[in-house]
Amino acid sequence: MGKIVLVSNRLSTSVAMSAGGPEFAPSMGGLATGLLSLHEQEDSLWVGWSGIPSDSVSTETETVIAQRLRDEHKSVAVPLSSDEIEDFYYGFCNNIIWPLFHYFPTYADYETRLWDRYRQVNEKFARAVLEVADDDDTIWVHDYQLMLLPQMLKRELPHSRIGFFLHIPFPSYEIFRLLPWREEILAGILGSDLVGFHTYDYARHFLSSVRRIVGVEHQMANIKHDNRVIKVDAFPMGIDYEKYSTAAERPSVQQEAESIRSQLSGQRIILSVDRLDYSKGIPMRIRAYRRFLEEHPEYHQKVTLILIVAPSRTEVPHYKQLKRDIEELVSITNGSFGTIGWTPISYFYRPFPFDQLTATYTQSDVLLVTPLRDGMNLIAKEYIAARRDYRGAIVLSETAGAARELGEAILINPNNEPQIAAAILQALEMSEEEQDENNRSMHERLKRYDIHYWAGDFMDKLEAVSRLQESFRARTLTEAVRSTLIGDYRAAQRRLIFVDYDGTLVHTGSKKTSPDDAGIRTVGLLAADPQNEVVVISGRPREHLQEVFVDLPVGIIAGHGVWYKGKSDQWHLTEAVTSDWKEIVLPILQLYCDRTPGTRVDESEYSLVWNYRKAQPELAAIRLSELKDAITSITANHDLSLLERTNVLEIKNSTVSKGRAAKAWYETGEWDFVMAIGDDWTDEDMFTMLRATDYSIKVGIDLSHARYFVESPQAVRELLAQIAAAPD
């Protein structure tokens, strides 16, 4: 077990320049807090930007900063110039990824120059990590600034454990597909072994994009890609519960709370806390509050909205306009409803320090959290944790990630002004008994799944994925195993070799395979040895296989076990099967083709295949389920079976299979060398029938009864060529 390497855009230590030189202080963000326990471990490092542009200080000062970060804070600084920060962070990250992933596609500026800079900075991070990381290390990469990094690291450190966590929403496929560099972004993230999101919705969107853009399906959120299994899961980020739940006991917080009570005596307080951003829905929030005041004059001079907006990206035009819009709405509201002694909105354009913010939490009757999109929103969780009296109510946007956990909150559509106004009234009039019941439930949840649990949960899952990967690597057909296999082959007198066709000898769906193909010629060489019995197994029609293996002395099992022929024999049925059932099933399949664009029916003598490879995946999944329901009774009455493979559903007689046909062949002689190679679950019956000393080989990484794995059809061809060239 190697060390832990944490990687994020910014380090957990903040660096600032003063007259006396660089000053270092711990970052106060939730991520730094959550990963503190990992970073405090003896063998750990944090890699990121220091916060100081490399061209704003002398080379000597930059060296001092880097050395002190390494020696005193176990951190590795990635130097970024002002131009790099401008194009990479403010350009690509904040002007393309941020608006697109928060469902503001019209705000995205797709400049190729910015993409080039994003890739270049990710490469710079990769070089910094590779200077300190080893192949047995655990590397945890964070957020949208570094989505290319996992692939870059996995390429150089194939056995390292790499986790990636996205702290913002992952958008739906229809939004994500707008990104010109969508394939590269997905490929970068898929370099990870574990991909984490705040909610299952984000994970589902990611899996949908992988399926539709990369063309890779998943099974139970496990993606088989690049001969690895990549796990995708949801890990809702928590807060430092202990810090917020005990804050009210601090004298400084109590003093702040007393000040708020004295200044707003007799007022019910509604609190809104956000960073300045168009994704937060602040203008709609103010309009909804104004509507509430219009509809409920009985609350005039009895309620105050404390609106805290932390400055952010103040030089960006969209943010400048947003600030103007907010301040205009505040002015209109206060001007319309305010009196000499009452200001409906107390507006603060600055962040509140911890003590002041926590004190405001404890004195607020309602927390108003209405983002249009938000990866999680920790403000809602902090508010609950700070209210140790179990008082207060939350009005929470259903599009915030926290809504999946805080179900006791009043959930609203952030675009529905009347609904938000009604929710404000509901929150203000909620009984103390209901507040107590709701908040106790949320307290227990937040206490149990806090920021430290979140980090540990992710690392535990990454370790579990790593063990699975290791179990697969242990069964890889290494050079040593290959040498033993060839030695056993040479020593044997009677050899039986089963080779699957699609996905094993040739790539799945290959249409242009000919007798001159190198792999087919290699099979011919093996079959020409009188000591060998070579059997090609396939779901393809016998006519296709006859054409490909013409004049080669090979046995063939076709149609998933319906037909077989010996080296120089005629075709025979393995069982007495019928095809009269096709008259019933074929019209149903054709109906579903009509209802599902991109599908077709492939018909052979004793089977029917509904092929949905080119169909829209979500629609195909729905139609597949409907189709299986529609023909279930027919398959039961006619002794048929449904065979599901990648993008196809095959209906055939249940009395025949590749495994049964292979077993019959296996039992025709006494073999002292047996090898079977296949690529999908229909080959598992063949693997299970073999003796423990026989060689069963699976193409691609997957759960299998096979003893060994190889990467691809190309690896199969190379193995067969080595065997064919082995001298007797």
More confident residue, 595 or 189: 189
Q: Smallest Cα–Cα separation from 340: which of 286, 384, 301, 394? A: 301
Q: What is the mean pLDDT of the chain?
A: 92
* pLDDT at residue 512 tops 60: no
- Cα-Cα-Cα-Cα dihedral sign, residues 97, 103, 105, 107: negative
Q: Smallest Cα–Cα separation from 702: which of 463, 472, 467, 470? A: 472
Q: Which residues pair with 197 in a beta bridge?
A: 234
Q: What is the tens place of the pLDDT at every residue in 279-299?
A: 999 999 999 999 999 999 999
Report d(CA 632, CA 634) in Å as an integer: 5
pTM above 0.75, yes or no: yes
Residue 516: predicted pLDDT: 54
DSSP string, 400-429: BGGGGT-TTSEEE-TT-HHHHHHHHHHHHT
Confidence of residue 513 (pLDDT cuts 50, 70, 90): low
Report d(CA 197, CA 164) in Å as an integer: 9
Residue 29: predicted pLDDT: 67
Which class in CATH covers the domain with range 477-575+656-725? alpha beta
Which class in CATH covers the domain with range 4-234? alpha beta
Across the range 435-462, mean pLDDT stands at 94
Q: What is the tens place of the pLDDT at every residue in 665-679?
A: 999 889 999 999 998
Q: What is the tens place of the pLDDT at every residue in 78-136?
A: 999 999 999 999 999 999 999 999 999 999 999 999 999 999 999 999 999 999 999 99
Confidence of residue 19 (pLDDT cuts 50, 70, 90): confident
Q: What is the tens place of the pLDDT at every residue in 613-657?
A: 888 888 888 999 999 999 988 888 888 888 887 789 999 888 888
Residue 179: predicted pLDDT: 98
Residue 510: predicted pLDDT: 61
Residue 660: predicted pLDDT: 86
Across the range 694-710, mean pLDDT stands at 91
Residue 14: predicted pLDDT: 84
Residue 511: predicted pLDDT: 60
Across the range 213-239, mean pLDDT stands at 91
Across the range 686-705, mean pLDDT stands at 90
DSSP character at residue 506: B
Task: Please tell us whether the domain made up of 582-653 is placed in CATH 3.30.70.1020.
Answer: yes
242-265 burial by CB neighbour count: b if 16+ within 10 A, else e?
A: ebbbebbeeeebeebbeebeeebe
> Considering 274, 500, 502, 680, which one is annotated as catalytic?
500
- Cα-Cα-Cα-Cα dihedral sign, residues 149, 53, 15, 240: negative
* pLDDT at residue 490 tops 60: yes
Q: Smallest Cα–Cα separation from 687: which of 663, 670, 671? A: 663
Count CA atoms within 13 Å of residue 404 on its CB side: 18
31-45, 476-490, 548-562, 707-721: lowest mean pLDDT where?
A: 31-45
Report d(CA 108, CA 281) in Å as an integer: 18
* 385: alpha, beta or left? (left if phi > 0; alpha if psi -120 to 50): alpha
In sequence order, what are the residues at sequence separation of 6 or more whose Cβ sits closer than 8 angstroms to the Cβ of residue 614? Answer: 598, 599
**Interstrand relation of 572-573 and 600-604 (parallel, antiparallel or unpaired):** unpaired
Residue 166: predicted pLDDT: 98
Residue 46: predicted pLDDT: 95
**Interstrand relation of 303-310 and 268-275 (parallel, antiparallel or unpaired):** parallel
Q: Smallest Cα–Cα separation from 164: which of 145, 177, 184? A: 145
Across the range 526-545, mean pLDDT stands at 91
Alpha helices in 23-148 (DSSP H): 30-34, 36-39, 59-73, 82-84, 98-101, 112-132
500 is catalytic: yes
Residue 604: predicted pLDDT: 83
Same fold, 4-234 and 582-653: no
Where do the structural domains in the chain lie, given as residue ranges? Answer: 4-234, 241-448, 477-575+656-725, 582-653
More confident residue, 701 or 70: 70
**Residue 489 corresponds to which tokens in the numbers above?**
């082959």
Helix (H) or strand (E) holding 699: strand 695-699
Across the range 242-268, mean pLDDT stands at 94
Report d(CA 372, CA 560) in Å as an integer: 52
14-45 burial by CB neighbour count: b if 16+ within 10 A, else e?
A: bbeeeeeebebeebeebbbbbbbebbeeeebb
Q: What is the tens place of the pLDDT at every residue in 124-137?
A: 999 999 999 999 99
Report d(CA 234, CA 354) in Å as an integer: 29
Q: Smallest Cα–Cα separation from 226: which of 469, 1, 6? A: 469
Count CA atoms within 13 Å of residue 349 on its CB side: 12
Confidence of residue 332 (pLDDT cuts 50, 70, 90): very high
Residue 159: predicted pLDDT: 93
Task: Please tell us whether the domain made up of 241-448 is placed in CATH 3.40.50.2000.
Answer: yes
Report d(CA 190, CA 188) in Å as an integer: 5
Q: Are 33 and 354 in contact (CB under 8 A)?
A: no
* pLDDT at residue 514 tops 80: no
Report d(CA 45, CA 261) in Å as an integer: 45
In sequence order, what are the residues at sequence separation of 6 or more whose Cβ sits closer than 8 angstroms to the Cβ of residue 153? Answer: 126, 129, 130, 133, 139, 141, 160, 162, 191
Report d(CA 135, CA 473) in Å as an integer: 14
